[in-house]
Amino acid sequence: GENVEQHPSTLSVQEGDSAVIKCTYSDSASNYFPWYKQELGKGPQLIIDIRSNVGEKKDQRIAVTLNKTAKHFSLHITETQPEDSAVYFCAASWQGGSEKLVFGKGTKLTVNP
């Protein structure tokens, strides 16, 4: 089955700096890669996603890149703000297959003012 590894487990940056979180996946059939932000005591919130027919996607300060050959994808947050502090999860799934999301272990991002 699919296995998703996520690094780093914790990340601390200064406000205004960029943050990068990386994930690798094992199943080449996976073709949908969402990123979720989870605040304490709340459910995950989708912040951006990418499908395998695209190499990069950007939404304001957030971008995701995908390298299908290497089976890895990354989340980039620019101009970080204290409200970006949260736990971020990457996930992978197979569109047209099981539909199940397999999550990474999460990255706790702390943005220091």
Partner 1 sequence: GAVVSQHPSRVICKSGTSVKIECRSLDFQATTMFWYRQFPKKSLMLMATSNEGSKATYEQGVEKDKFLINHASLTLSTLTVTSAHPEDSSFYICSASWFGGRARINEQFFGPGTRLTVL
Does position 99 bind partner 1 by CB under 8 A? yes
Smallest distance, partner 1 to C-beta of residue 82, A = 21
Cα–Cα dist 4/24, whole Å = 6
Cα–Cα dist 36/84, whole Å = 12
Please list every residue from 27 through 86 that binds partner 1, using CB under 8 A: 32, 34, 36, 41-46, 49
Cα–Cα dist 7/72, whole Å = 11
Smallest distance, partner 1 to C-beta of residue 47, A = 11
Of the candidates 93, 89, 79, 59, the one whose C-alpha atom is nearest the C-alpha of residue 14 is 79
Residue (41 or 113) nearer to partner 1, CB: 41
Interface with partner 1 by CB under 8 A: which residues?
32, 34, 36, 41-46, 49, 89, 93, 95-96, 99-106
